Amino acid sequence: MKIDLSVKVDKKVLEAVGLGAQALGTDLDKAGHVGTHFDARDKEFPIEKIITRGIVFDIRHIKTGEVKINDIDLNIVQPNDFIMFYSGILNKFRYGTKEYFTTYVELSDELVDGLIARNVSFIGVDMGGAKGPEDHVRIDQYCADRGVFIIENLNNLDLLYKTAKGNPFTVYTFPVNMSGFSGLPCRVIVEI
């Protein structure tokens, strides 16, 4: 059994303690989209997903366009896996720069559907999203509606890829216990 001991933080709580949007002078909802996070949209994170098996796929050879379903071996994907895509974009451009947020390799809809069909828990990328700006929200919502969260801005996938050597590993995902936000910052830890 898993018991969550953290206090749930929502917008009303933040406003009650003086951290509302007016106090910050900005859109408070954007705070959930900083750093490593997933776009929860209107969903809650199930604590049963804090520990998953992970696999990292190297997609650095795909410089533009889409990662297609045939670009990875879906046969090794198991239910509840955390599937990560190592594009190298975060290594090439510093997080937060214009170059970082305007450079991406998209995951094809067919690939995303293939991962959803295998009942993965997470799709992770070392870039600003699984799709470019035009389809970013659409694919996040599509996945969330099917119980899959896309975790963006994963760091150190180069080290993970080199260390894992194609083998699965254990992933611990700890989102901040907040509700009512479209994004949730999270800490993702891997054990090899």
Domain parsing of the chain, residue ranges = 9-191
The amino acid at residue 36 is T
Confidence (pTM): 0.88
Distances (CA, A) of 11 to 8, 102, 174, 190: 10, 30, 20, 30
Residue 149 has phi, psi (to 5 degrees) of -110, 140
CATH code, 9-191? 3.50.30.50
pLDDT value, residue 4: 52
Walking along the chain (192 residues) 10 residues at a time, the average pLDDT comes out as 53 56 54 77 84 97 92 97 96 86 93 98 95 93 95 93 95 86 87 92
User: What is the spatial distance between Cα 121 and Cα 79, in angstroms, rounded to a whole number?
Assistant: 8
| Distance between CA atoms of residues 29 and 10, nearest Å | 10
Residue 101's Cβ-count burial label (10 Å; 0-12, 13-18, 19+) is middle
Q: Which contiguous run of DSSP H or E holds residue 190?
A: strand 184-191
Contact, 152 vs 136, CB < 8 A?
A: no
